[in-house]
Structure formats: C-alpha cells, structure tokens
Structure 1
Amino acid sequence: MRTFFKAFTYAWMGIVHGATKERNVKFHVVAAILVIVAGAATGLRQIEWIILTAIIGLMIALELLNAAIERVVDLVTQEIHPLAKQAKDLAAGAVLVFSIASAIIGMLIFLPKWLM
C-alpha cells in the first residue's frame, strides 16, 4: 500500500510542476478558471458542468502528456532529428486538435445562453 500512495505523491508532483512551470499548462489552468467563472455566472445545467469538467480535465491531462513527451525526446537526443521533431509536433498537434474541439464545445454551450 505504501508504494501505491507514493505513486499519488509523484503524480501530484507532476501536476504541480506542470501548473507552475509549464507555460502551456498554466495557460490552460487560467482558461479553465475563466470557464468555471463564466459557467457559474451563466447558470449552467448539470450536464453542461459534466461536459466542461471532462473537457478541462482532458485538456490539462493532454497538455501534461505533451510536456512529458517533449522531456523524453529531449532526454534521448539533443540533436535536431526528424523523428524527434515529428514526435514533438505530433504531441503538440494532438493538443491543438483538442483545444479547437474544446473551444467549439464551449461555444455550443455558452453562446446560446449569452445570445438569448
């Protein structure tokens, strides 16, 4: 059980590192806070909160994975290698795709309420 709980400590350290040191994770945390404030001011329904919570969690998790991939690639090679660039670009692309989808979902949730 001790190693099980130790794993949570390491995971928490990763979250804290990402939220305090990674520029893109910090950006998404700030964006999440703004969405939560906007949601509270808008009076969202429970299903809308569930969707936004899932999107926020997935976005931050994906950004943390992107940072981890960048670290591993940098650890393996400091040279500019086409495969290293592709790995980093693919991870960043995944974040971008989900960011766009998240923005669209956010607009679908918020705009009808704000424009009525």
Structure 2
Amino acid sequence: MRSDLKDKRTYSARRLTASFRFAGNGLKMAFREPNMRIHLAAGAIVSAAGFILSLSRMEWCILILVIAGMLALETVNTAIEKTVDLVTEEYKPLAGMAKDLAAGAVLLFACAAVIIGMIIFIPKL
C-alpha cells in the first residue's frame, strides 16, 4: 500500500478535533438562519410541552428523533442553498429546482413532524 494513501486514512486526535470544530462552525452558521431559529423555537415549545405532559421514554425518543431530524434537514437545505448561490448568481432553472427540492424536503418532513406531534400530544390533552 502506498504511504500517501495510508496517511490519508490515518486518524489522529488532531484530525478528529478539527472535524468536530468544523462541524461546530457549521452548526453556528446554521443557527444564524431565520428558518433554523423557527425550527429551534418549535422544538423548544414541543419539548416544554413534553415535560409538562410527562411523556414516556418511547415518546421522548420519537420526539428527539423528529426534532433532531428537522434541524439536520434544515441544515442540509441551507448547505444546498449556499452551494447553489456559490455556483451561480444569475437565475438558472436547475439551480432554482435544486433549491425548491431541498425546501420541499424540509416542508415534507415538517408536515410529518406535525402529524407525529399530534399523535403523541392529542391523547394527553
């Protein structure tokens, strides 16, 4: 095996630390986005309701997965939008489609999250 390939596969504490730092920077950037703040606020409200209504462990697991999934998907949507903006400043139909598709994925997951929330919370009210 070539030594330069082996070096690329070697993971050091420094590389791991740098990876976490880059991920943290990405989250900081994502949390500055208005839509991410809306999702964070919704997640906080739903979490508070979960505490008030004493959710079961399984309900909490589902709720955490849905909130984390929503935040992760919004982060990916933002990354796609930033990448498209980097590639072109002029309107291009394919660029618009990429942005719309990513936003559509977020909307689809948000609708599913609302339905899951209703399944969890309505019986407790």
- Same fold at TM > 0.5: yes
Match of 1:59 in 2: 70
Are 2:99 and 1:88 equivalent residues in the alignment?
yes
- C-alpha distance in 2, partners of 1:105/1:87? 27
For residue 59 of structure 2, what is the aligned residue in structure 1? 48
Larger radius of gyration: 2
Partner of 1:16 in structure 2?
28
Task: Provide the residue aligned with 2:14 in structure 1.
Answer: 2
- The CA deviation string for residues 9-50 of structure 1, in whole angstroms up to 9 with x for no partner, is 11011112211x100001001110001100000010000000
Q: Match for residue 31 of structure 1?
A: 42
Letter in 1 for 2:64: T
The count of corresponding residues between Structure 1 and Structure 2 is: 113
Report the counterpart of residue 88 of structure 2 in structure 1.
77
Uncovered stretches (5+) of structure 2, i.e. residues with no partner: 1-12
Residues in 1 aligned to 2:43 and 2:21: alpha-carbon distance in whole angstroms: 23
2:49 and 2:26 mapped to 1: Cα distance?
Answer: 28
Instruction: Work out the percentage of aligned pairs sharing the same amino acid.
Output: 48
Hey, what's the Cα distance between the residues in 2 that align with 1:47 and 1:89? Answer: 34
How far did residue 79 of structure 1 move? 0.8
